[in-house]
């Protein structure tokens, strides 16, 4: 299974805040209605009822459900089955078997525990898995740590390792890879740097926690007319009769990996000048 995403800008929205659903849908490519950490335990019954009442497009909605084995998991599943939504994000996924238990649903597996990260390849290989996302904060808590980032905002090595592991595991199974959230809502320049790195590294999308972050992510996944023109020249040169195997363009060697990168750039959105 593949598919996902409908665009690069995904946005969490607490499912107990129905008044925010429309704004989230207007802002983002995909809305993640959250039944897990974004909702207090006492508010979850109301949040589940909101799934049944909303008229959001099921093709642009993912429902984050609580982990397998918790008391909230089955009530979440019951609400999903009574709703029009059939794509879920499974919090704290730790095995392929957990994904397989969600037969009939499309699953985005959230790798955010030590065991989940160790089993990322197995999780991605599940036929029900359409994509992987990673999470730093639950992971660090599970490791006994207290912060996923250095004081200057850079991720600690263990978070960088997890990010890379999740991306590679998803790609190896032909699944989408979603980059984790940027918690400092006011730091849009920092988000821009991280989102650009996600785009250039191969993540299919980056997930936001606030609507103001969405446009920053979209711009990071767009390409300028100049970069697009350069990529088009590479593709055009490769298609010429005398361009076979490795060739040079403007003094730069172009081989198959460079050509593939150019084609991928052309598949991304053009950023208007």
Mean pLDDT for the stretch of residues 196-200: 95
d(CA 222, CA 80): 33
Q: Cis (ω within 30 of 0) for the bond into 5? A: yes
* pTM, rounded to two decimals: 0.86
Mean pLDDT for the stretch of residues 209-231: 84
Q: What residues does 89 pair with on adjacent strands?
A: 64, 108
Predicted confidence at residue 169, as pLDDT, reads 98
d(CA 150, CA 146): 11
Tens of pLDDT, residues 108-117:
999 999 999 9
Answer whether residue 177 shows pLDDT above 70.
Answer: yes
| Range 52-75 burial, b when 16+ CB lie within 10 A, else e | eebebeeebbbbbbbbbeeebbeb
d(CA 165, CA 162): 5
Task: Give the Å distances, CA to CA, from 270 to 94, 225, 233.
Answer: 38, 6, 16
Mean pLDDT for the stretch of residues 202-218: 96
CATH topology for 9-221 is TIM Barrel (3.20.20)
Mean pLDDT for the stretch of residues 118-136: 98
Residue 270: band (very low, low, confident or very high) from pLDDT cuts 50, 70, 90? very low
Predicted confidence at residue 4, as pLDDT, reads 76
How much is the mean pLDDT over the chain? 90
Domain boundaries, the chain: 9-221, 225-266
Answer whether residue 71 shows pLDDT above 90.
Answer: yes
Answer whether residue 55 shows pLDDT above 80.
Answer: yes
Mean pLDDT for the stretch of residues 108-135: 98
Q: Residue 142 burial (CB < 10 Å; 0-12/13-18/19+)?
A: middle
């Amino acid at each position: 299974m593949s598919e996902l995403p409908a665009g690069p800008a995904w946005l969490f929205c607490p499912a107990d805040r129905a008044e925010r659903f429309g704004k989230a849908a207007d802002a983002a490519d995909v809305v993640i209605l959250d039944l897990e950490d974004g909702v207090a335990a006492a508010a979850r019954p109301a949040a589940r009822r909101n799934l049944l009442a909303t008229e959001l497009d099921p093709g642009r909605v993912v429902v984050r459900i609580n982990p397998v084995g918790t008391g909230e998991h089955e009530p979440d599943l019951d609400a999903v089955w009574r709703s029009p939504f059939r794509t879920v994000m499974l919090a704290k996924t730790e095995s392929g078997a957990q994904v397989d238990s969600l037969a009939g649903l499309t699953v985005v597996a959230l790798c955010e525990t030590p065991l989940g990260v160790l089993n990322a390849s197995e999780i991605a290989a599940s036929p029900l898995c359409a994509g992987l996302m990673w999470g730093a904060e639950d992971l660090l808590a599970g490791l006994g740590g207290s912060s996923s980032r250095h004081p200057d905002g850079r991720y600690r090595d263990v978070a960088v390792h997890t990010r890379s592991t999740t991306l590679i595991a998803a790609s190896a199974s032909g699944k989408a890879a979603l980059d984790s959230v940027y918690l400092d809502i006011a730091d849009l320049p920092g988000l821009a740097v991280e989102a650009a790195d996600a785009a250039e590294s191969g993540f299919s999308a980056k997930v936001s926690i606030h609507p103001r972050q969405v446009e920053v992510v979209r711009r990071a996944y767009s390409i300028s007319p100049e970069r697009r023109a350069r990529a088009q020249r590479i593709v055009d040169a490769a298609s010429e009769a005398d361009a076979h195997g490795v060739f040079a363009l403007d003094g730069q060697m172009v081989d198959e990996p460079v050509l593939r990168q150019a084609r991928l750039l052309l598949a991304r959105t053009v950023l208007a000048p």
